[in-house]
Structure 1
Amino acid sequence: MFYVSEITKEAPQKFLTELQRETYQNLKKLAIPFERVETDEAITMSDCQVINQKLSMEMVKTLFLTNRQKTSFYLLVTTGEKPFKAKEFSQALGVARVSFASIDLMEEILGTKIGAATIFSGLLDSAKNVQIIIDEEVTHQTFYGCSDGTTTNYLKIDTQDILAKYLPSIKNKVKIIELNK
């Protein structure tokens, strides 16, 4: 059985990564309330179903993408059930076709491993040139569910706090686009 803790409104007592520490410091600094659960390691969107039930929300899907030359990087945030279509994404941005960035690039730039990609990577200097692309559908959700930069801690945050407080506080370019189902 997949373990999900009781809900807490506090940061973990011990941080597993620098990004995780930065995430909670930033939430505190911006006065953004959250609910959090600790879990077994969650890698896939199907792993997140139990987390979604516990927090009464839908986890976003966050994908780390790059162009063929590995000179442009994108962090796509979309709904959990929506399939990724590289051609549609590229057309919406007016860029050459993109693909998934490697595990090494994800760790080096985003400070995360597979399954932990998060919008909070925008707090890291290494991710300052990553463009954050948000599917418009996500902006209409009441809550924003995501990783805190680990595969074992997940957050529920008011989506408007992400859009109006968090995103303006980082230096990344942010663009909202419409992706079809």
Structure 2
Amino acid sequence: MEIVKGRPLNVKERLKKEVRVYDLLDELDIEYWRIDHEVAQTMEDCEEVDRILDAVICKNLFLCNRQKTKFYLLMMPGNKAFKTKELSAQIQSARLSFAPEEYMEKFLDITPGSVSVMGLMNDTENQVQLLVDADVLEGEYLGCHPCINTSSLKLRTRDVFTTYLNAVHHDYIAVHLGDRNE
């Protein structure tokens, strides 16, 4: 695995949803680095990628309320534990759970294991609210998938939370989740 600046040369061999991520980042003049790798569906799978990218690979969880009327994308450091009750209290939403796969595909055009903030570009009707652990906002860089879990990107945190989110018409709510390595 090697880190490469910018889009892959072989875009014809890539999924359209992945290429759309590179197209948007290039259009927005956002600098990024990329690494191609085997399928990475868990945080453990991302450890070597994390080391090579030298960026915090975010744990991304796609959540919903019990009624399945409100949907959330939670970005948090991979080394933090997720506690539903803690998050529910902060956003005043009872009974958060993992959202069904079909909503992930419908709103974000992403399949399980590939969840990423980049999927918000596909949420043109703003069905998904972005929630971000405050620790993610403190890092200079973050890592995420380009809507597919066989590549990972390294982006400047400020570019994601300003330029990118503005372009895809989303905002975020900062949350404070438990201690790292808890």
TM-score between the two structures when normalised by the length of structure 1: 0.92
- SS of the residue corresponding to residue 59 of structure 1 reads strand
- SS of the residue corresponding to residue 144 of structure 1 reads strand
- SS of the residue corresponding to residue 56 of structure 2 reads coil
AA aligned to 2:2 is: E
Are the structure 2 counterparts of residues 119 and 139 from structure 1 closer, same or farther at C-alpha, using a change threshold of 3 Å?
A: same
Match of 2:46 in 1: 48
Match of 2:99 in 1: 101
The Cα shift of 1:154 comes to 0.1
- Cα distance in 2 for residues equivalent to 1:133 and 1:125: 15
AA aligned to 1:50 is: E
In the alignment, structure 2 segments of 5+ residues that lack a partner are none
In the alignment, structure 1 segments of 5+ residues that lack a partner are none
Which one of 56, 59, 68 corresponds to residue 58 of structure 1? 56
Match of 1:165 in 2: 163
AA aligned to 2:175 is: I
- Cα distance in 2 for residues equivalent to 1:171 and 1:11: 23
- SS of the residue corresponding to residue 19 of structure 1 reads helix
2:139–2:157 contact (8 Å) kept in structure 1: yes
AA aligned to 2:150 is: T
* Structure 1 position 11 matched with structure 2 position 11: no
Aligned residues: 177
AA aligned to 1:9 is: K
Which one of 131, 135, 140 corresponds to residue 137 of structure 1? 135
The Cα shift of 1:97 comes to 1.7
Percentage of pairs with the same residue: 33
Match of 1:68 in 2: 66
Deviates more, 1:66-75 or 1:118-127: 118-127
AA aligned to 1:8 is: V
- Cα distance in 1 for residues equivalent to 2:132 and 2:20: 21
* Structure 1 position 115 matched with structure 2 position 113: yes
- SS of the residue corresponding to residue 38 of structure 2 reads coil
AA aligned to 2:78 is: G
1:110–1:127 contact (8 Å) kept in structure 2: no
Deviations 1:124-164 (A, max 9, x none): 14662100011111000111101110010100111111112
Root mean square deviation of aligned Cα: 1.5
